[in-house]
Structure 1
Amino acid sequence: MQQCGFLLVAIAAILMASCKAEKVLPVKESIKDITGSWQVIRATRNGTELTTLIDFTKFRVNFKDGGYTIENPLPFLVNANGKFSLDDPEYPFKITFTATGGTAVSTPFNYPIVNGKRQLSITFSPGCPNNSYVYVLQKVN
Structure 2
Amino acid sequence: MKKIYQIKALVLALMVAMLGTACKTEKVLPQKEALKDISGSWQVIKATRNGTELTSIIDFSAFKINFKDGGYTLENKMPFLVEQDGAFALDDPEYPYKITFTASGKTPVSTAFTYPIVNGKRQLSLTFSPGCTNNSYVYVLQKTN
Same fold (TM over 0.5): yes
How far did 1:11 drift? 5.9
Moved over 3 A (4+): 6-13
Deviations 1:99-120 (A, max 9, x none): 1121111111111111111111
- Equivalent of 2:114 in 91, 95, 110: 110
**Distance (Å, rounded) in 1 between the aligned partners of 2:143 and 2:19:** 52
- Letter aligned with residue 133 of structure 2: P
The match for 2:131 is: 127
Pick one of 53, 66, 90 that aligns with 1:49.
53
Residues 1:36 and 2:24 are matched in the alignment:
no
- Cα distance per residue 1:9-32 (max 9 Å; x no partner): 846743542331101111111111
1:74 maps to a residue whose letter is: M
**Counterpart Cα distance in 2 of 1:117 and 1:12:** 52
Instruction: Write the deviation string for residues 34-93 of structure 1: whole angstroms up to 9, x where unpaired.
Output: 000000011000000001011011110000001000001000001111111111111111
Aligned partner of 2:102 in structure 1 is: 98
Aligned alpha-carbon RMSD (Å):
1.9
Amino acid at match of 1:104: P
**Worse overlay, 16-25 or 64-73:** 16-25
Which one of 19, 24, 39 corresponds to residue 20 of structure 1?
24
Q: Does 1:72 align with 2:76?
A: yes
TM-score (norm 1): 0.90
Indicate the SS of the match to 2:134: coil
Which consecutive unaligned segments of at least 5 residues does structure 2 have?
none
Q: How many residues align?
A: 140
- In structure 1, how many angstroms separate the alpha carbons of the residues matched to 2:23 and 2:119? 39
Residue type of the partner of 1:51? T
CA distance in 1, matches of 2:14, 2:119: 51
SS in 2 for 1:14: helix
Report the Cα distance in structure 1 between the residues aligned to 2:17 and 2:60, rounded to whole angstroms.
67
Which runs of no fewer than 5 residues in structure 1 stay unpaired? none
Q: Partner letter of residue 106 of structure 1?
A: S
One-letter amino acid of the structure 2 residue matched with residue 123 of structure 1: T
